[in-house]
Amino acid sequence: MKMSSINLFATDLRDRIARGELSAENVVRSCLERIDATESELRAWAHLDRDAALNHAKRLDGYRASGHPLGPLHGVPVGIKDSIDTADMPTERGTVIDAGRRPSQDAVVVSRLRAAGAVILGKTACTELSYFTPVETRNPHDPRRTPGGSSSGSAAAVAAGHVPLAVGTQTADSVIRPASFCGIVGFKPSHGLVPRTGILMQAPPLDTVGAFGRTVEDAALLADVLAGYDPGDPDTRPIAPPRLLELASGRPPVRPDLAFVKGPVWDRAAPETQQGFAELVEALSEACDTVDLPDAFGQAEAAHRQLMTTGFARNLRPYYERHHDAVSEVVRRTIEEGRDVKAVDYLTALDWREVLNDGLERIFERYDALITPAAIGEAPLGLETTGNPAFCVLWTFCGVPTVSLPLLQGPNGLPVGVQLVGRRGHDGRLLRTARWLTDYLSKAD
């Protein structure tokens, strides 16, 4: 079976494998062929285990042939960000300090993927300790540009067709911005929906596990498998499964009402981004109102910074103290900044999170989702930066679900994501609205 005969929509692959129209082995071989064709230029992977992936796929095919019930990701290849522990592969966290590091057990999300029948193809490249220092990964749309960070390899691998799904993490903008730059769907769930046990911890009030896919439904399929209570993560709750794919695949009972919000960082958006959103709001017509956020939301950026740097100072302390010279200057400065944050300021930052969420709740009483840029514009030229996080920080700080949709183009024909923001804990409703928006705009074209 030729590579071109297999598309990489995860929901389609899952169904065709289940029906016996495709074998998991051929799907994995197809992914490996795509990797061989472009990986030398894109450098999306930190580690690949071809033989293990093929052997696992063969076992899954035998399992299906024996008539056993199949998991929701049976035979579907997935990439795992290299800050997420895997017992059978290195987890080096984007730093030479952890070169050759092999965890003793899988992260909880990896265990759930294996139980769902996924084929773990390998570890995708991430920035140093999942922060801002760029890696060698390049943007599939233009290898001269960054794919974003810190989940650089996960976004690039999905955009390049290496895998249909990949897992990332976000503490500031590490899922939504790479999805925007690479022209794919990126989904950051509500804080606490997906457990983080076995994942590099940066700042617990902010750290969130996210999903990359080519469609809203694909991202929902992956997040469904990852979500759920874990006693090892105190931010998760023992509640019923979210049924994200079921909700995302359904039709809204009524037309969603959207609120376009510029937010406190609108002046940082590129002129072309501002113009694109003006045209988008016009195209949505009665389905979208322009809503101003209260001035208090301007506090989010500084408060987020205090939570993040303090988290770095605590959780990355061993790197700073034991391997000071091997840590980049930007990480050292961030840790040192966090050491100077006073306890009262940290607690005040936590208070601001609840104040702003109360304000968002009042907006969500009227609107199904907020609409705003996912990034200031196209992926910047050059590999010296992973881009500006401005349009993601507020939503990560508040812990609300967000999704980036590849709906706009910049002046160079590169993707610019439209970010939808949902009510905290209403992830399925957000994904359903995102799918509605995608369908609405495709029909308008």
Question: Which amino acid is located at 285 in the chain?
Answer: S
Three-state secondary structure call for residue 382: strand
Active site residue 81: yes
Q: What angle do CA 20, 25, 29 make, to 5 degrees?
A: 130
Asked whether 331 and 227 are in contact (CB, 8 A), the reply is no
CB 89 within 8 A of CB 49: yes
Q: Is 5 exposed, middle or buried (0-12, 13-18, 19+ CB in 10 A)?
A: exposed
d(CA 126, CA 112): 21
- Which residue in 23, 150, 154, 404 is the catalytic one? 150
Write out the H or E segment, with its range, that includes residue 331.
helix 329-339
E-strand stretches of 50-179: 77-81, 119-124, 165-170
Site of tokens 């017992």: 87
Instruction: Give every CB contact of residue 383 below 8 A, 6+ residues apart in sequence.
Output: 134, 136, 138, 144, 145, 146
Q: Dihedrals φ, ψ of 250, to 5°?
A: -85, 165
**What are the CA-CA distances from residue 365 to residues 305, 316, 361, 369 (Å)?**
29, 39, 6, 10
**Distances from the Cα of 307 to the Cαs of 12, 68, 123, 197, 360, in angstroms?**
40, 47, 28, 19, 20
Query: Could you say which of 23, 174, 180, 190 is catalytic?
Result: 174
Instruction: Look at residue 373 and give its three-state secondary structure.
Output: strand
Q: Where are the alpha helices (DSSP H) in 212-270?
A: 216-226, 244-249
CA distances from 381 to 126, 141, 144, 275 (A): 19, 12, 6, 21
Burial of 227 (0-12, 13-18, 19+ CB in 10 A): buried
150 is catalytic: yes
Question: Is the peptide bond between 4 and the residue preceding it cis, with omega within 30 degrees of 0?
Answer: no
Cα–Cα distance, 250 to 253 (Å, whole number):
9
Q: Classify 104 as helix, strand or coil.
A: coil
Catalytic site residue from 23, 30, 81, 151: 81
- Annotated catalytic residues are 81, 150, 174
